[in-house]
Amino acid sequence: MDFTFFLIQALNGVQYGLLLFLIASGLTLIFGIMHVINLAHGAFYMVGAYLVWSLTGVFDSFVVAILAGIVCAAALGWVIERFLVIHLYNRDHLDQVLLTYGLILVLNEVQRMMFGSDVHGVAVPSMVAASIPLTDTLSYPVYRLVLAGVCLALAFAMYWIIQRTRLGMWIRAGAANREMTASLGIDIRRLNALVFAAGTALAAFAGMIAAPLSSVYPGMGDNVIIISFVVVVIGGIGSVKGAFLGALAIGLTDTFGRVLLPEMSSVMVYALMAAVLLWKPNGLFARA
Reported as a pLDDT band with limits 50, 70 and 90, residue 232 is: very high
Question: What is the distance between the terminal CA atoms of the chain, rounded to a whole angstrom?
Answer: 44
Please check whether residue 259 lies inside any domain of the structure.
Answer: no
Please check whether residue 253 lies inside any domain of the structure.
Answer: no
Reported as a pLDDT band with limits 50, 70 and 90, residue 208 is: very high
Selected residue with higher pLDDT from 116 and 33 = 116
pLDDT single digits (tens) 166-181: 988 888 888 777 788 8
Selected residue with higher pLDDT from 1 and 87 = 87
DSSP notation for 210-241: HGGGS-B-TTTTHHHHHHHHHHHHHH-TT-HH
Please check whether residue 254 lies inside any domain of the structure.
Answer: no
| pLDDT for 39 | 94
CA distance 64 to 145: 20
| pLDDT for 150 | 95
Burial class of residue 225 in the structure, from the number of CB atoms within 10 Å of its CB (0-12 exposed, 13-18 middle, 19+ buried): buried
Rg (CA), the chain: 19
Q: Are 40 and 107 within 8 A, CB to CB?
A: yes
Selected residue with higher pLDDT from 182 and 64 = 64
Which residues span the domain enclosing 47? 11-122+136-218
Please check whether residue 281 lies inside any domain of the structure.
Answer: no
3-state class percentages of the chain: helix first, strand second, coil last, to nearest 5: 75, 5, 20
Which amino acid type is present at position 62? F
pLDDT single digits (tens) 237-283: 888 899 999 999 999 999 999 988 888 877 999 999 999 999 998 88
Which amino acid type is present at position 107? L
Provide the percentage of residues in the chain whose pLDDT is more than 70: 99
From the list 153, 149, 154, 145, the residue with the least C-alpha distance to 199 is: 154
Please check whether residue 167 lies inside any domain of the structure.
Answer: yes
pLDDT single digits (tens) 93-127: 899 999 999 999 999 999 999 998 899 999 999 89
CA distance 223 to 216: 14
From the list 181, 220, 196, 169, the residue with the least C-alpha distance to 83 is: 196
CA distance 89 to 87: 6
Please check whether residue 282 lies inside any domain of the structure.
Answer: no
CA distance 29 to 260: 34
Q: Is the pLDDT of residue 184 over 60?
A: yes
Reported as a pLDDT band with limits 50, 70 and 90, residue 65 is: very high
CA distance 212 to 52: 10
Q: List, in sequence order, every residue forming a beta bridge with 140; answer none if it has no partner.
A: 132
Please check whether residue 22 lies inside any domain of the structure.
Answer: yes
SS3 of residue 133 by DSSP: strand
CA angle, residues 228, 119, 116, in degrees to nearest 5: 100
H or E element at residue 92: none
Mean pLDDT of the chain: 91
Q: Name the pTM for this structure.
A: 0.93
SS3 of residue 113 by DSSP: helix
Reported as a pLDDT band with limits 50, 70 and 90, residue 1 is: low
Burial class of residue 12 in the structure, from the number of CB atoms within 10 Å of its CB (0-12 exposed, 13-18 middle, 19+ buried): buried
CA distance 58 to 34: 36
Number of domain units in the chain: 1
Please check whether residue 232 lies inside any domain of the structure.
Answer: no
